Amino acid sequence: MTPATDVVVVGAGLAGLAAARRLVDAGAEVMVLEARDRVGGRTLTMPAADGIPIDHGGQWIGPTQDRIAALAERVGVTTYPTYERGLNTEFRDGRARRYGGDVLDGEDPLSAVETGQAIRELETMAAAVPLEAPWTAPEALAWDSQTVETWVQARVPSERVRNWLREIVRGTLAAEARDVSLLHALFFLRSAGGMALLLGTGGGAQERRFHQGAQAVSIRVAESLGERVVLGAPAEVVRHGEAGVVVEAAGRTVAAGRAIVAMPPAVAGRIGYRPAMPGWRNQLTQRMPMGSVIKVHAIYEEPFWREEGLSGFAVSDSGPVTVVYDDCPEEGSPGVLVGFIKGEQARIWARRDQADRRAGILACLVDLFGVRAGDPRELLERSWADDEYSGGCYTGYFPTGVWASFGQALREPVGRLHWAGTDTATVWTSYMDGAVRSGERAADEVLAAS
């Protein structure tokens, strides 16, 4: 039998669930099909050996991320501040240095001035990028014809500041500066509201964590939707036409008035559409690759770095883990460090065998925090490129030329098919907040069209 519903949502990450929640609130009949045997997509919280929740995917939220905050509050998921007392650590040229404030202040004032200039220049350019239509920026074509790396080499003299900017691209997009269109980086920067919001712990995107883990938001929203959410139902074929939509998912067939496909464009492009997608959409989904990231957690009896006056925040120029944060539960025990292997390093280290990789990770933690860091009671790692239904993380990004030629296809509905997912968001794109916003926007589109 073919159940008929108003809207079928494909994908039960934050975007799909936020869309479904808004539609149900508005009185619509909704069905959500999720490929995996769990909800939450790029958020995934699993207990460590002692039961504390570990976020293997998205975890932090910060100021101006109002839509994820509102959704979390609605379902009773609470937050606490990221620990940031004490000195930060920089491992560079084979040596660990402790510093307060920003990495380039004090010891290297010339680099600090150059960094300030680069940030001002990037933010001024970003202010000229319309969030709804980056390809209409006055200099869109020039900016979309170069990578961030090209710009860095042309505009930034110091190799140290260049490396810092490259690391920002890795840190925020899990890609190399050479991979990413300058126009996309400017759009991304504006979408977050500027560099301070993007990079900050207190006052920025890394400000708070969820006590219950980030996936709890999706789990509780899904619970509130009850039997409308179907797990283990990968959409294989979406038939669409003037009369409606029929989704075929692992032997299940769902007919609906409209569909919201809520996942990264690269993953949406693997579904079969009948009739096929128009060329502009088909070619967009071929051109928006996912970032490369391995997320690492090292768990210790206690956060020994705190006793030594360290915040747990660290950056390393050698890697493989190039940035680390204190990730302890609010009560401060056990000690947890979270680190990221990103971009090219993620591509290289994902292919090494596990023992090699673990040795590389631990050696890096020892460089940063001393010998005690080399002996965690648990070491957890997750490479998102291996994940069939994510294809990489944190997000899909735009290489050169894609915004200019295909940007309009990102959100434009195709008949009765609508597109959601953080990768389609205009505000906080690539973040959980962007995911929620994109789902709510797609739900509004459907409601307006019905």
Ligand X SMILES: Cc1cc2nc3c(=O)[nH]c(=O)nc-3n(C[C@H](O)[C@H](O)[C@H](O)COP(=O)(O)OP(=O)(O)OC[C@H]3O[C@@H](n4cnc5c(N)ncnc54)[C@H](O)[C@@H]3O)c2cc1C
Residues lying near ligand X in the complex (CB under 6 A) are found at 10-16, 33-36, 41-43, 57-61, 234-235, 262-264, 267, 271, 293, 295, 384, 389-390, 393-395, 421-422, 430-433, 435
Pick between residue 20 and residue 235 the one whose CB is nearest to ligand X: 235
User: Which CB atom, from 313 or from 384, has the smaller least distance to ligand X?
Assistant: 384
* Minimal distance, residue 14 CB to ligand X, in Å: 4
* Nearer of residues 273 and 305 to ligand X, judged by Cβ: 273
In the numeric block, the tokens 């301070």 are attached to 196
In angstroms, how far is CA 105 from the centroid of its own chain?
Answer: 28
Helices vs. strands in the chain: H and E counts, helices first: 16, 20
Task: Specify the DSSP element, H or E, that contains 31.
Answer: strand 30-33
Residue type for 329, please? P
When the beta carbons of 305 and 384 are compared against ligand X, the nearer one is 384
Which of 140/180 has CB closer to ligand X?
A: 180
- The smaller minimum CB distance to ligand X, of residues 162 and 357, is found at 357
Q: How far is the CB of 110 from ligand X (least distance, A)?
A: 32
* Residue 65 beta carbon to ligand X: minimum distance, rounded to whole angstroms: 7
Element (H, E) at 155: helix 148-155
**What is the smallest separation between the CB atom of 262 and ligand X, expressed in angstroms?**
6
C-alpha–C-alpha distance, residues 245 and 257, integer Å: 6
Cβ closest to ligand X, residue 156 vs residue 417 = 417
Our CB check for ligand X shows the closer of 67 and 416 to be 67
Q: Which two tokens stand for residue 269?
A: 């492009």
Separation of alpha carbons 24 and 279, rounded Å: 33
**Cβ closest to ligand X, residue 345 vs residue 395:** 395
Q: Nearest approach, Cβ of 384 to ligand X (angstroms)?
A: 5
Nearest approach in angstroms of CB 405 to ligand X is: 24
What six digits make up the tokens of 396? Answer: 């899909």
Q: How many CB atoms lie within 10 A of CB 442?
A: 30
Can you state the angle between helices 66-74 and 432-449, rounded to 10 degrees? Answer: 80
d(Cα 95, Cα 114) in Å, to the nearest integer?
Answer: 23
> Least separation, in Å, of the C-beta of 314 and ligand X?
17
Distance CA 425, CA 436 (A): 9
Cis previous bond, 289, omega within 30: no
- Shortest separation between residue 419's beta carbon and ligand X, angstroms: 11
Under 8 Å between Cβ of 406 and 280: yes
Distance CA 421, CA 321 (A): 28
What is the DSSP code string of 24-60? HHTT--EEEE-SSSSS-TT--EEE-TTS-EEESS--E
What is the phi/psi pair of residue 99, to 5°? -150, 155
The two three-digit tokens of residue 217, written as one number: 């938001």
Q: State phi, psi for 35 to the nearest 5 degrees.
A: -65, -45
Whole-number minimum distance, CB 371 to ligand X, in Å?
28
